[in-house]
Amino acid sequence: MRTSTRANFASLYMDKFLSLENIYNKANVKGAKTEIEDAMVDMYRHTTFGLNPAASSIDTPLHGLIPFRQVDHMHPVSAIAIAASKDQEALTQDVFGDDVGWVPWQRPGFDLGLAMQEKVKQQPNLKGLIMGQHGLINWADDDKTCYELTLTLIEKAARFIEQMDKGDKTFGGQKYAALDSTTRDELLVKLLPKLRGLVSPVNRFIGTVQITDRVLEFVNSVDAPRLAEIGTSCPDHFLRTKIKPLYVDWDPQHESESTLLEKLESGLAHYRADYTAYYEACKRPNSPAMRDPNPTVILIPGLGLIAWGKNKSESRVTAEFYSLAIDVMRAAESISEYQGLPRQEAFDIEYWLLEEAKLKRMPPEKELARNIVVVIGAGSGIGKATALRVAKEGAHVVCADLSEASAQQTAQELIKTYGVGIGVAGTGLSGCGPALGLGVDITNRASMQAMLNQVVLAYGGFDNVIVTAGIFVSPDKTGHIPDDKWSLTYAINVMGSYIVADEAKKIWQVQGLKGSLVLTTSVNAAVAKPGSLAYDTSKAAANHLVRELAIELAPLVRVNGLAPATVVEGSSMFPRERVISSLHKYHVPFDDSESTEALREKLAHFYAQRTLTKAPVTLADQAEIAYLLSSSKFSKTTGQIISVDGGLHEAFLR
Ligand SMILES: [Zn+2]
């Protein structure tokens, strides 16, 4: 609801919608899951009001066939808890008396709508219904009364549950203790990349860690393995969480990390086999092909919950939904016994042809969807342009820079453009959106490590690293730069890139997924000229570093170099003094009163005239190649340097 707008809601003419009942009734075979029931969904389009293109929900008849002006349908924890209890019908009576009726589970559709309509006809005093294994629906003659009724019913159920809470005995009591937060984060940093690699053999996933007291109480409990196996009950939840999570039976107090890894690997293998068996047992002749058999929720005693999704928003929603499922189980086990949906019913929702059609209607995923790209130097210039470019291709972007503030500014710009997503879960950094701004000093190994650890905690790992950070120290008038500036130039332009690669390598290897590294060198690496000895030789070393790293990181990670030249536009490498000194050097006439941007333009124009293509080289030109080298379009290219210099024949590599 936080992100919903008018565009998310369908609108239908009620009289036209109600006339569809005649069509439904004419069918020879009708009822739940019959051909006519699915066919009705397409007919809702004929009843559209105001040419509204928003598609009607499959719940449309549940709302439309109830003869009241306002109908609310919700999946609140307290109502699902009653709906997912063994004695749901009796409990509905206990909690709500004669105000609320009960209908057994049935897949949403026209037939369920008619059954609910019939119920209202028989008991005209009903204000609502508990829908078995599903949720709550209630109605009134105006919206405010209905809204207040919704809140009252949810509260009533919650108070009933509260007074039967089992306290320390919840979930059969605690079997394990939670790890302290330092130990936990250290373990997560080691575990998450490994886990990401293990769950991503079919599709890459983005992770979200959810560690709340309620989650810990569940994963550490005696009953967790039994309840996890029953699975998520509400169909609206399990489309994201899958029918059940993977619970790893690890003793955080007495077993080692290596035991945890072994148990995770065997647990995943078992989960996939189990999912395949479920698919085979429940499939129908026209069922869609089996989908990714990997779990989207993993529960680990002592640690918490780790959710996976195709993007950050989805993985946060998944984490949130399973957290809610835990609350549902807690409540249901307090008042009765928690009960899951029969597997065949779950299957008929998960592999519903209407659901499949919805998936097929989704636009194809973008080139860098499901990828996490770390851009180092993202606070300004080529780095910032690159961060914006890869985000356009669906990447999650970690904007890193020596200046944490400027890194966060770029990240904020991205979040403003792409939104933070609909989920509200995620502990600490893991609650982030599709972009994150972090500070890093690449000349300092500890700083680099700390930054990548944060990336792991936020997203579960990373795929591509692009380094645009670099330094150009202007020489004095005789072309000389002092020794300490030589050291600094090499520390950033050569050693810094090496430290990035060396630290990233450790995580790439644990993750075991293909990745790419792009280093920014310079055409100066190949062109000898007076006045920039330290910079030019450092970039020549960086060129060879690309080739050495390509060999060292093969076959897992491709390493390529981007060699820009004379990007003057918005570059932090070209402050006013450097622009003026260059204009002097090349005898380009200018006036001191001109703005820095005007002077930069003059210099850019001068540089352009020296090139074969005669056009200024822009930040966007550089960002395009940084993106392409990271993408699958260059999947067979490694150890190469691509010049983006407008065509400087002196810089041709031989
Ligand atoms: Zn529903």
What's the whole-number average pLDDT of the chain?
94
Dist. CA 215 → ligand 1 center (Å): 24
Dist. CA 191 → ligand 1 center (Å): 36
> What is the helix (H) or strand (E) element at residue 617, kind and residue range?
none
- The whole-number average pLDDT for the span 606-631 is 94
Q: Tell me, what amino acid is at 351?
A: Y
| Euclidean distance between CA atoms 294 and 200, whole angstroms | 8
- Gyration radius (Cα) of the chain, Å: 30
Q: Tokens standing for 285?
A: 């002749």
pLDDT at 568 over 80: no
Q: Are 538 and 489 in contact (CB under 8 A)?
A: yes
| Euclidean distance between CA atoms 643 and 522, whole angstroms | 8
Name the residue among 599, 384, 119 with its Cα closest to residue 397.
384
Whole-Å CA distances, 422 to 185, 311, 410, 426, 431: 25, 11, 21, 12, 11
> What is the helix (H) or strand (E) element at residue 438, kind and residue range?
strand 435-439
Dist. CA 580 → ligand 1 center (Å): 67
Dist. CA 75 → ligand 1 center (Å): 6
**DSSP 8-state class, residue 168:** G
Dist. CA 362 → ligand 1 center (Å): 22
pLDDT at 518 over 90: yes
pLDDT at 567 over 80: no
Helix axis angle, 35-43 to 110-122, nearest 10°:
90
Dist. CA 204 → ligand 1 center (Å): 29
pLDDT at 477 over 80: no
Q: What is the predicted pLDDT for the residue at 213?
A: 97
Q: Tokens standing for 314?
A: 């989805």
Dist. CA 526 → ligand 1 center (Å): 64
Pick from 87-91, 339-343, 371-375: least confident? 339-343
Dist. CA 626 → ligand 1 center (Å): 45
Dist. CA 237 → ligand 1 center (Å): 10
Dist. CA 90 → ligand 1 center (Å): 21
- The whole-number average pLDDT for the span 514-524 is 96
Contacts of 464 (CB under 8 A, 6+ apart): 368, 371, 372, 373, 374, 390, 395, 515, 516, 517, 518, 630
pLDDT band at 572 (very low <50, low <70, confident <90, very high): low
| Euclidean distance between CA atoms 167 and 333, whole angstroms | 12
| Euclidean distance between CA atoms 240 and 319, whole angstroms | 9
Helix axis angle, 497-511 to 445-459, nearest 10°:
40
| Euclidean distance between CA atoms 427 and 422, whole angstroms | 15
Dist. CA 129 → ligand 1 center (Å): 12
Dist. CA 134 → ligand 1 center (Å): 6
Q: What is the predicted pLDDT for the residue at 353?
A: 84
Contacts of 604 (CB under 8 A, 6+ apart): 566, 568, 569, 616, 617
Q: Give the residue, 604 or 300, on which the prediction is more confident.
A: 300
Only one residue has tokens 């509905």, namely 92
Dist. CA 609 → ligand 1 center (Å): 65
Q: What is the predicted pLDDT for the residue at 570?
A: 66
Name the residue among 113, 105, 111, 133 with its Cα closest to residue 33.
111
pLDDT at 282 over 70: yes
pLDDT at 600 over 90: no
Q: What is the predicted pLDDT for the residue at 607?
A: 87
Dist. CA 131 → ligand 1 center (Å): 9
Summarize pLDDT for 250-273 with one digit per residue, the tens.
999 999 999 999 999 999 999 999
| Euclidean distance between CA atoms 630 and 31, whole angstroms | 52
Cα dihedral 644/649/653/654 (nearest 10): 160
Contacts of 618 (CB under 8 A, 6+ apart): 567, 569
Q: Are 219 and 299 in contact (CB under 8 A)?
A: yes
pLDDT at 275 over 70: yes
Percentage of residues of the chain with pLDDT beyond 70? 99
Contacts of 49 (CB under 8 A, 6+ apart): 11, 12, 13
Summarize pLDDT for 381-425 with one digit per residue, the tens.
999 999 999 999 999 999 999 999 999 999 999 999 998 888 889
Summarize pLDDT for 220-232 with one digit per residue, the tens.
999 999 999 999 8
Q: Tokens standing for 308?
A: 């996976």
